[in-house]
Amino acid sequence: MTQEMTAEFQPLPPSALEYMQARRAQLHALVADNFSDRELTHTAEDFELLQRIVDANLLEAEDVAGWEAMGIAFGDGLTTMVPGLAWAQVTDQYGTDAVLRYQATTLQIGVVTMLRKRAEANEEINVAHLAQWLKAFIEEKAHEYR
């Protein structure tokens, strides 16, 4: 009989924060090089700019760091769109990752890899639609994750 590990949440450690900052800087450089009239704000207002990056095919599906930068920016935007959503580190049966956690519940969203997985599967990426879907999911289902 195997025992499933429960999720343990902690604040992001300095190493994760540094990694995320490096990915944000990478995305800022990509934006500066390709959309000199725009800047990332780390809010939901960035979803349009993230979509422009997707639509312009500026990242190859195999560009793990680039897609993780997009996922972090997407997560930053979600935290401004959904009160109670914040970055955390989770350790569970799948490993240790930076995720968005809703309040003090077990509801977690793996946004760092969410867009990358869609790019690798050659699926359509609609940033605003994903954000709205996640917001609705949290509003409708968060009570199940207490």
**Residue 2: which pLDDT band, with cuts at 50, 70 and 90?**
very low
Q: Based on the structure, what is the number of domains in the chain? A: 1
Question: For the domain that residue 105 is a member of, what is the CATH number?
Answer: 1.20.120.1090
Q: Tell whether 21 is covered by a domain.
A: yes
| Alpha carbon distance 4, 49 (integer Å) | 40
Mean pLDDT, residues 37-58? 97
Which pLDDT band holds residue 6 (cuts at 50, 70, 90)?
Answer: confident
Residue 45, domain member (yes or no)? yes
3-class DSSP string for 2-58: CCCCCCEEECCCHHHHHHHHHHHHHHHHHHHHHCCCCCCCCCHHHHHHHHHHHHCCC
Query: Do 119 and 125 touch, CB atoms closer than 8 A?
Result: yes
| pLDDT, tens digit (0-9, with 9 covering 90-100), for 106-120 | 999 999 999 999 999
CB 68 within 8 A of CB 16: no
Hey, what are 22's tokens?
């490096």
Per-residue pLDDT tens digits for 83-108 = 999 999 999 988 999 999 999 999 99
Inside any domain, residue 145: no
What residues make up the domain containing 55?
8-137
**Structural domain contains residue 57:** yes
In-domain check, residue 2:
no
CB proximity list for 95: less than 8 A, separation 6 or greater: none
Is residue 144 in some structural domain? no
Q: Is the whole-model pTM more than 0.85?
A: yes
Residue 140 has pLDDT above 60, yes or no: yes
Answer whether residue 129 is part of any domain.
Answer: yes
